[in-house]
Amino acid sequence: MAETFNNYIMHARSKHLIDMLDDIRTMLMKRIATKREECASKWSGLLCPKVQVLLDKEKEEVSNCTVLLSTATVFQVAHHIDVLEVDIERRTCTCMKWDLKWIPCCHVVASISYLHKDVELFVDECNTKDAYTRAYTGSIAPYFGERHWPKIDMSIDPPPSKLV
């Protein structure tokens, strides 16, 4: 995350402190506004588009899965040469994809389909359009330029320097 942010502000880092902070503030204002508008106007459905694409890929793989019911929420799923356990109530799968990505893997999708339920409801809440919208509801307030700053009549001397 730090590398991504540093790359995002790379051109601003070569400027003086106040100019750098102003550039970063301006970039973040634009980014927040753009993401908010993009989510409101372009996205349809319950999930974020990238998450929906990942889930659709997992849905395509369901035809290779054979589901056996153990209890109301625990399943044994055979996928190619592998046999896995899926617990829908605890939201775990032996392959650990669901545990790590919070997006159901093909084994979980097969188990949920066996129950005739909607797979999108089992994607973690952080991957939904509502969570994304909430993340970008805030904003950075604009400020007026240096020309409009209050004038101060007293001189400000630098701090005394120590001689060693």
| pLDDT one-digit tens code per residue, 74-117 | 999 999 899 999 999 999 999 999 999 999 999 999 999 999 99
Residues 25-41: tens digit of each pLDDT: 999 999 999 999 988 88
Res. 164: pLDDT tops 80? no
Opening angle at CA 108, ends 104 and 114, nearest 5:
135
Whole-number average pLDDT of the chain: 89
What percent of the chain stands above pLDDT 90? 52
State the pLDDT confidence band at 145, using cuts at 50, 70 and 90: confident
- Measure the CA–CA gap between 81 and 90, rounded to whole angstroms: 25
What are the DSSP calls for the chain, one per residue?
-HHHHHHHTTTGGGS-HHHHHHHHHHHHHHHHHHHHHHHHHH--SSB-HHHHHHHHHHHHGGGGEEEEESSSSEEEEEETTEEEEEETTTTEETT-HHHHHSS--HHHHHHHHHTT--GGGGS-GGGBHHHHHHHTS--------GGGSPP--S--PPPPPP--
